[in-house]
A and B are shown apart, each in its own frame.
Chain A
Amino acid sequence: MTIAKNGRLALLAFALIFISTLSVLLARRLNMGPMSPVPAWRTFGPENAAIQIYEFTDFACPACRGASETLTETLRVYGGDIRLRFKHYPLIHIHPWSMHAAAYSDCAGEQGKFTEYAELLFATQENWGEAKEEPAIFGELALKLKLDWPKMQACANSPEAIRRVKLDMAEGDLKGVNATPTFFINGKRSVGGGQLLDKVRNFDNLLGKKR
Protein backbone atom coordinates (compact mmCIF):
# COMPACT_ATOMS: atom_id res chain seq x y z
CA MET A 1 0.00 0.00 0.00
CA THR A 2 2.77 2.41 1.04
CA ILE A 3 4.70 1.51 -2.11
CA ALA A 4 1.70 2.45 -4.26
CA LYS A 5 1.32 5.77 -2.42
CA ASN A 6 5.02 6.55 -2.75
CA GLY A 7 4.81 5.62 -6.42
CA ARG A 8 2.01 8.13 -6.94
CA LEU A 9 4.01 10.81 -5.15
CA ALA A 10 7.11 10.01 -7.22
CA LEU A 11 5.03 10.29 -10.40
CA LEU A 12 3.73 13.66 -9.25
CA ALA A 13 7.29 14.78 -8.46
CA PHE A 14 8.49 13.77 -11.92
CA ALA A 15 5.59 15.60 -13.57
CA LEU A 16 6.36 18.74 -11.58
CA ILE A 17 10.07 18.55 -12.43
CA PHE A 18 9.30 18.00 -16.12
CA ILE A 19 6.84 20.90 -16.34
CA SER A 20 9.08 23.31 -14.40
CA THR A 21 12.13 22.42 -16.52
CA LEU A 22 10.16 22.97 -19.71
CA SER A 23 8.76 26.27 -18.45
CA VAL A 24 12.16 27.68 -17.48
CA LEU A 25 13.75 26.61 -20.78
CA LEU A 26 10.87 28.19 -22.70
CA ALA A 27 11.09 31.39 -20.66
CA ARG A 28 14.82 31.51 -21.42
CA ARG A 29 14.19 31.16 -25.13
CA LEU A 30 11.52 33.87 -25.01
CA ASN A 31 14.03 36.18 -23.36
CA MET A 32 11.95 36.54 -20.21
CA GLY A 33 14.92 36.44 -17.88
CA PRO A 34 16.51 39.58 -16.47
CA MET A 35 19.50 41.14 -18.24
CA SER A 36 22.62 41.39 -16.16
CA PRO A 37 23.98 44.85 -15.33
CA VAL A 38 26.09 46.78 -17.84
CA PRO A 39 29.04 49.01 -16.83
CA ALA A 40 28.21 52.73 -16.69
CA TRP A 41 30.45 53.56 -19.67
CA ARG A 42 28.37 51.28 -21.91
CA THR A 43 25.02 52.73 -20.79
CA PHE A 44 23.41 55.75 -22.43
CA GLY A 45 20.20 57.67 -21.75
CA PRO A 46 17.92 58.03 -18.75
CA GLU A 47 17.18 54.92 -16.69
CA ASN A 48 13.39 55.24 -16.92
CA ALA A 49 13.31 55.91 -20.69
CA ALA A 50 10.28 54.52 -22.56
CA ILE A 51 12.48 52.62 -25.00
CA GLN A 52 15.00 50.22 -23.50
CA ILE A 53 17.56 48.83 -25.95
CA TYR A 54 20.18 46.12 -25.38
CA GLU A 55 22.66 45.82 -28.21
CA PHE A 56 24.88 42.75 -28.72
CA THR A 57 27.73 43.81 -30.99
CA ASP A 58 31.05 42.72 -32.43
CA PHE A 59 33.52 45.51 -33.34
CA ALA A 60 34.84 43.56 -36.33
CA CYS A 61 31.43 42.96 -37.87
CA PRO A 62 30.58 45.26 -40.81
CA ALA A 63 26.82 45.03 -40.17
CA CYS A 64 27.43 46.20 -36.59
CA ARG A 65 29.28 49.21 -37.92
CA GLY A 66 26.28 50.17 -40.08
CA ALA A 67 23.83 49.56 -37.23
CA SER A 68 26.02 51.62 -34.90
CA GLU A 69 25.60 54.61 -37.23
CA THR A 70 21.80 54.09 -37.24
CA LEU A 71 21.81 53.92 -33.45
CA THR A 72 23.91 57.06 -33.09
CA GLU A 73 21.43 58.94 -35.30
CA THR A 74 18.47 57.43 -33.42
CA LEU A 75 19.96 58.51 -30.10
CA ARG A 76 20.42 62.01 -31.50
CA VAL A 77 16.76 62.20 -32.56
CA TYR A 78 15.06 60.46 -29.63
CA GLY A 79 17.67 61.26 -26.98
CA GLY A 80 15.87 61.24 -23.65
CA ASP A 81 13.36 58.58 -24.67
CA ILE A 82 15.97 55.87 -25.15
CA ARG A 83 18.11 53.91 -22.74
CA LEU A 84 20.81 52.03 -24.65
CA ARG A 85 22.96 49.34 -23.07
CA PHE A 86 25.85 47.99 -25.08
CA LYS A 87 26.87 44.34 -24.69
CA HIS A 88 29.83 42.59 -26.26
CA TYR A 89 29.26 39.59 -28.48
CA PRO A 90 32.58 39.04 -30.30
CA LEU A 91 32.29 36.32 -32.95
CA ILE A 92 35.69 34.90 -32.11
CA HIS A 93 35.49 31.99 -34.55
CA ILE A 94 35.48 34.39 -37.53
CA HIS A 95 37.01 37.56 -36.06
CA PRO A 96 40.21 36.63 -34.21
CA TRP A 97 40.75 40.08 -32.65
CA SER A 98 37.19 40.89 -31.64
CA MET A 99 37.69 39.70 -28.10
CA HIS A 100 40.75 41.93 -27.73
CA ALA A 101 38.86 44.88 -29.22
CA ALA A 102 36.00 44.35 -26.77
CA ALA A 103 38.35 44.21 -23.78
CA TYR A 104 40.30 47.29 -24.96
CA SER A 105 37.07 49.25 -25.46
CA ASP A 106 36.03 48.48 -21.87
CA CYS A 107 39.45 49.57 -20.66
CA ALA A 108 39.07 52.80 -22.65
CA GLY A 109 35.70 53.08 -20.93
CA GLU A 110 37.41 52.86 -17.56
CA GLN A 111 39.42 55.88 -18.66
CA GLY A 112 36.21 57.66 -19.74
CA LYS A 113 36.43 57.20 -23.52
CA PHE A 114 34.42 54.09 -24.42
CA THR A 115 32.29 55.78 -27.11
CA GLU A 116 35.24 57.48 -28.79
CA TYR A 117 37.34 54.29 -28.82
CA ALA A 118 34.37 52.21 -30.03
CA GLU A 119 33.76 54.64 -32.91
CA LEU A 120 37.41 54.39 -33.97
CA LEU A 121 37.32 50.57 -33.74
CA PHE A 122 34.31 50.48 -36.06
CA ALA A 123 35.84 53.03 -38.43
CA THR A 124 39.08 51.05 -38.74
CA GLN A 125 37.69 47.51 -38.58
CA GLU A 126 39.00 46.66 -42.08
CA ASN A 127 42.54 47.32 -40.86
CA TRP A 128 42.46 44.90 -37.94
CA GLY A 129 39.44 42.58 -38.29
CA GLU A 130 41.27 39.75 -40.00
CA ALA A 131 44.90 40.55 -39.13
CA LYS A 132 47.30 37.64 -38.70
CA GLU A 133 49.04 39.08 -35.63
CA GLU A 134 47.78 41.32 -32.85
CA PRO A 135 47.13 44.64 -34.61
CA ALA A 136 49.24 47.59 -33.49
CA ILE A 137 46.31 49.81 -34.36
CA PHE A 138 44.66 49.14 -30.97
CA GLY A 139 47.52 51.06 -29.35
CA GLU A 140 47.57 53.73 -32.06
CA LEU A 141 43.88 54.46 -31.53
CA ALA A 142 44.44 54.70 -27.79
CA LEU A 143 47.29 57.20 -28.28
CA LYS A 144 45.15 59.17 -30.73
CA LEU A 145 42.58 59.58 -27.94
CA LYS A 146 45.35 60.38 -25.42
CA LEU A 147 44.55 57.27 -23.39
CA ASP A 148 47.09 55.62 -21.09
CA TRP A 149 48.03 52.68 -23.37
CA PRO A 150 50.19 50.66 -20.91
CA LYS A 151 47.37 50.93 -18.39
CA MET A 152 44.88 49.80 -21.04
CA GLN A 153 47.06 46.81 -21.91
CA ALA A 154 47.31 45.75 -18.28
CA CYS A 155 43.58 46.24 -17.89
CA ALA A 156 42.68 44.24 -21.03
CA ASN A 157 44.76 41.30 -19.82
CA SER A 158 43.20 41.32 -16.36
CA PRO A 159 40.79 38.50 -15.45
CA GLU A 160 38.15 41.12 -14.61
CA ALA A 161 38.09 42.60 -18.15
CA ILE A 162 38.05 39.17 -19.80
CA ARG A 163 35.32 37.98 -17.44
CA ARG A 164 33.16 41.01 -18.30
CA VAL A 165 33.29 40.22 -22.02
CA LYS A 166 32.78 36.49 -21.49
CA LEU A 167 29.73 37.11 -19.30
CA ASP A 168 28.18 39.23 -22.05
CA MET A 169 28.87 36.42 -24.53
CA ALA A 170 27.38 33.81 -22.20
CA GLU A 171 24.30 35.97 -21.75
CA GLY A 172 23.99 36.35 -25.51
CA ASP A 173 24.24 32.57 -25.93
CA LEU A 174 21.56 32.04 -23.29
CA LYS A 175 19.24 34.43 -25.09
CA GLY A 176 19.80 32.73 -28.40
CA VAL A 177 21.98 35.44 -29.95
CA ASN A 178 23.89 33.88 -32.84
CA ALA A 179 24.35 36.82 -35.20
CA THR A 180 25.50 40.37 -34.74
CA PRO A 181 24.19 42.93 -34.27
CA THR A 182 21.24 41.67 -32.23
CA PHE A 183 19.02 44.12 -30.39
CA PHE A 184 16.46 43.62 -27.69
CA ILE A 185 14.13 46.61 -27.91
CA ASN A 186 11.72 46.63 -24.97
CA GLY A 187 12.39 42.89 -24.76
CA LYS A 188 11.69 42.15 -28.44
CA ARG A 189 14.47 40.81 -30.61
CA SER A 190 15.72 42.46 -33.82
CA VAL A 191 18.62 41.08 -35.81
CA GLY A 192 20.63 43.28 -38.15
CA GLY A 193 20.41 46.90 -39.24
CA GLY A 194 17.27 46.39 -41.36
CA GLN A 195 15.15 45.09 -38.49
CA LEU A 196 16.56 47.80 -36.25
CA LEU A 197 15.50 50.46 -38.72
CA ASP A 198 12.01 48.92 -38.92
CA LYS A 199 11.69 49.16 -35.15
CA VAL A 200 13.09 52.70 -35.09
CA ARG A 201 10.42 53.79 -37.61
CA ASN A 202 7.84 52.64 -35.08
CA PHE A 203 9.32 54.62 -32.19
CA ASP A 204 6.97 57.57 -32.75
CA ASN A 205 3.96 55.28 -32.32
CA LEU A 206 5.61 53.66 -29.35
CA LEU A 207 6.17 56.98 -27.70
CA GLY A 208 2.73 58.22 -28.70
CA LYS A 209 4.26 61.40 -30.05
CA LYS A 210 4.36 63.21 -33.38
CA ARG A 211 7.67 64.62 -34.30
Chain B
Amino acid sequence: MNERTNFKEILGLLARLAVGGVFVYSGVIKAMSPAEEFAYAIESYKVIGAGPALWAAYAVPWIELYAGLLLAFGIFTRRSALFIAAMLVFFELLLGQAWLRHLPITSCGCFGSAGSNSIGREFMQNLALLVLLWPAARSRRLSADETVGADV
Protein backbone atom coordinates (compact mmCIF):
# COMPACT_ATOMS: atom_id res chain seq x y z
CA MET B 1 0.00 0.00 0.00
CA ASN B 2 1.57 3.31 -1.02
CA GLU B 3 1.57 6.49 1.07
CA ARG B 4 -1.19 8.15 -0.95
CA THR B 5 -3.58 5.22 -0.52
CA ASN B 6 -2.75 5.09 3.16
CA PHE B 7 -3.55 8.80 3.56
CA LYS B 8 -6.88 8.33 1.75
CA GLU B 9 -7.78 5.39 4.00
CA ILE B 10 -7.02 7.35 7.17
CA LEU B 11 -8.88 10.41 5.90
CA GLY B 12 -11.85 8.18 5.07
CA LEU B 13 -11.80 6.60 8.52
CA LEU B 14 -11.61 9.99 10.26
CA ALA B 15 -14.42 11.38 8.08
CA ARG B 16 -16.58 8.34 8.83
CA LEU B 17 -16.02 8.70 12.57
CA ALA B 18 -16.59 12.48 12.47
CA VAL B 19 -19.88 12.41 10.53
CA GLY B 20 -21.10 9.30 12.36
CA GLY B 21 -20.13 10.85 15.68
CA VAL B 22 -21.99 14.09 14.97
CA PHE B 23 -25.13 12.12 14.08
CA VAL B 24 -24.85 9.89 17.16
CA TYR B 25 -24.38 12.94 19.42
CA SER B 26 -27.24 14.82 17.79
CA GLY B 27 -29.53 11.80 18.05
CA VAL B 28 -28.70 10.97 21.67
CA ILE B 29 -29.01 14.55 22.94
CA LYS B 30 -32.48 14.84 21.37
CA ALA B 31 -33.64 11.34 22.34
CA MET B 32 -32.80 12.21 25.97
CA SER B 33 -34.90 15.40 25.89
CA PRO B 34 -38.68 15.77 25.64
CA ALA B 35 -39.91 15.23 22.08
CA GLU B 36 -42.13 18.30 22.49
CA GLU B 37 -39.03 20.48 22.70
CA PHE B 38 -37.69 19.27 19.35
CA ALA B 39 -41.23 19.33 17.89
CA TYR B 40 -41.43 23.03 18.65
CA ALA B 41 -38.17 23.61 16.78
CA ILE B 42 -39.53 21.65 13.79
CA GLU B 43 -42.77 23.66 13.89
CA SER B 44 -40.83 26.91 13.72
CA TYR B 45 -39.68 25.99 10.18
CA LYS B 46 -43.35 26.36 9.16
CA VAL B 47 -43.33 23.39 6.81
CA ILE B 48 -45.53 20.97 8.78
CA GLY B 49 -48.13 21.38 11.50
CA ALA B 50 -47.92 20.61 15.22
CA GLY B 51 -49.19 16.99 14.96
CA PRO B 52 -46.77 15.75 12.29
CA ALA B 53 -43.97 17.77 13.92
CA LEU B 54 -44.43 15.79 17.13
CA TRP B 55 -44.31 12.48 15.24
CA ALA B 56 -41.18 13.64 13.44
CA ALA B 57 -39.67 14.67 16.79
CA TYR B 58 -40.26 11.17 18.14
CA ALA B 59 -38.66 9.48 15.13
CA VAL B 60 -35.81 11.68 13.85
CA PRO B 61 -33.47 11.46 16.90
CA TRP B 62 -33.51 7.65 16.78
CA ILE B 63 -32.99 7.61 13.01
CA GLU B 64 -30.02 9.96 13.42
CA LEU B 65 -28.57 7.79 16.19
CA TYR B 66 -28.89 4.53 14.21
CA ALA B 67 -27.61 6.02 10.94
CA GLY B 68 -24.66 7.60 12.77
CA LEU B 69 -23.77 4.32 14.47
CA LEU B 70 -23.94 2.32 11.23
CA LEU B 71 -21.66 4.81 9.49
CA ALA B 72 -19.19 5.06 12.38
CA PHE B 73 -18.91 1.28 12.67
CA GLY B 74 -18.73 0.91 8.90
CA ILE B 75 -21.78 -1.29 8.52
CA PHE B 76 -23.21 -1.04 4.98
CA THR B 77 -20.93 2.01 4.78
CA ARG B 78 -21.95 3.30 1.33
CA ARG B 79 -25.66 2.91 1.93
CA SER B 80 -25.38 4.49 5.40
CA ALA B 81 -23.41 7.39 3.92
CA LEU B 82 -25.99 7.80 1.16
CA PHE B 83 -28.82 7.80 3.69
CA ILE B 84 -27.07 10.40 5.86
CA ALA B 85 -26.38 12.50 2.74
CA ALA B 86 -30.11 12.43 1.92
CA MET B 87 -30.91 13.55 5.47
CA LEU B 88 -28.36 16.35 5.29
CA VAL B 89 -29.75 17.56 1.96
CA PHE B 90 -33.22 17.56 3.48
CA PHE B 91 -31.95 19.54 6.50
CA GLU B 92 -30.24 22.00 4.13
CA LEU B 93 -33.53 22.52 2.27
CA LEU B 94 -35.32 23.18 5.56
CA LEU B 95 -32.66 25.63 6.74
CA GLY B 96 -32.48 27.27 3.31
CA GLN B 97 -36.22 27.91 3.07
CA ALA B 98 -36.25 29.28 6.64
CA TRP B 99 -33.39 31.61 5.76
CA LEU B 100 -35.07 32.80 2.54
CA ARG B 101 -38.39 33.38 4.34
CA HIS B 102 -36.62 35.20 7.22
CA LEU B 103 -38.37 32.95 9.73
CA PRO B 104 -37.68 33.90 13.36
CA ILE B 105 -36.01 30.63 14.37
CA THR B 106 -34.54 30.85 17.86
CA SER B 107 -33.49 27.21 18.06
CA CYS B 108 -32.69 25.21 14.93
CA GLY B 109 -33.33 21.99 16.85
CA CYS B 110 -30.11 20.48 15.50
CA PHE B 111 -28.63 19.55 18.88
CA GLY B 112 -31.62 19.85 21.21
CA SER B 113 -31.92 22.78 23.57
CA ALA B 114 -28.29 22.44 24.71
CA GLY B 115 -27.21 25.02 22.18
CA SER B 116 -28.13 26.48 18.86
CA ASN B 117 -26.11 28.22 16.20
CA SER B 118 -27.41 30.67 13.64
CA ILE B 119 -29.16 29.24 10.59
CA GLY B 120 -26.20 30.27 8.40
CA ARG B 121 -23.72 28.48 10.62
CA GLU B 122 -25.79 25.31 10.73
CA PHE B 123 -26.14 25.45 6.95
CA MET B 124 -22.35 25.67 6.55
CA GLN B 125 -21.80 22.91 9.12
CA ASN B 126 -24.12 20.57 7.24
CA LEU B 127 -22.35 21.45 4.00
CA ALA B 128 -19.03 20.49 5.59
CA LEU B 129 -20.54 17.18 6.73
CA LEU B 130 -21.79 16.55 3.20
CA VAL B 131 -18.26 17.09 1.85
CA LEU B 132 -16.83 14.72 4.47
CA LEU B 133 -19.30 12.04 3.41
CA TRP B 134 -17.45 11.57 0.13
CA PRO B 135 -14.28 10.06 1.67
CA ALA B 136 -16.41 8.49 4.46
CA ALA B 137 -18.48 6.50 1.94
CA ARG B 138 -15.30 4.99 0.44
CA SER B 139 -13.69 4.17 3.75
CA ARG B 140 -13.13 0.49 4.60
CA ARG B 141 -10.37 0.83 7.18
CA LEU B 142 -11.47 -0.63 10.56
CA SER B 143 -15.02 -1.11 9.29
CA ALA B 144 -17.40 -4.02 9.83
CA ASP B 145 -17.68 -4.23 6.03
CA GLU B 146 -13.95 -4.93 5.83
CA THR B 147 -14.04 -7.47 8.65
CA VAL B 148 -16.87 -9.41 7.11
CA GLY B 149 -15.40 -8.99 3.65
CA ALA B 150 -18.60 -7.60 2.18
CA ASP B 151 -18.53 -5.41 -0.89
CA VAL B 152 -21.25 -2.89 0.02
CA distance in complex: A17, B29 (Å): 16
Q: How far is the CA of A86 from the CA of B50 in the complex (A)?
A: 27
Task: Enumerate A8-22 residues with CB–CB distance to B below 8 Å.
Answer: 8-9, 12-13, 16-17, 20-21
Selected contact of B36 from candidates A8, A17, A33, A166, CB within 8 Å: A166
A12 touches B33 (CB 8 A): no
Pair B36/A167 contact, Cβ less than 8 Å: yes
Chain A contact residues (Cβ within 8 angstroms of B): what range? 20 to 34
On whether A17 and B33 interact (CB within 8 A), knowing A6-B150, A12-B75, the answer reads no
Interface residues in B3-25 (C-beta closer than 8 Å to A): none
The number of A-B residue pairs with CB atoms under 8 Å apart is 73
Binary per-residue interface labels of chain A (147-182) against chain B in the complex, 1 for a CB within 8 Å, 0 otherwise: 000000000000000010011001101100000000
B69 & A174 in contact (Cβ 8 Å cutoff):
no
Q: In whole angstroms, what is the CA distance A104 to B65 when docked?
A: 38
Chain B min CB distance to A30 (Å) = 10
Interface residues on chain B, number (Cβ under 8 Å): 28
The answer for the CA separation of A170 and B39 in the assembled complex, in Å, is 12
Bound Cα distance A16, B65 (Å) = 10
B130 contacts A by Cβ under 8 Å: no
Set of chain A residues within 8 Å of B33, measured between Cβ atoms:
33-34, 36, 171, 174
Q: Which A residues lie at the B interface, using CB under 8 A? A: 2, 5-6, 8-9, 12-13, 16-17, 20-21, 24, 27-28, 32-34, 36-37, 163, 166-167, 170-171, 173-174
Contacts from B to A (Cβ < 8 Å): 28-29, 31-37, 40, 62, 65-66, 69-70, 73, 75-76, 112-114, 144-145, 148-152
User: Please, could you name 7 A-B residue pairs with CB atoms under 8 Å apart, sorted by A?
Assistant: A9-B150, A13-B75, A16-B75, A34-B114, A36-B34, A167-B36, A167-B40
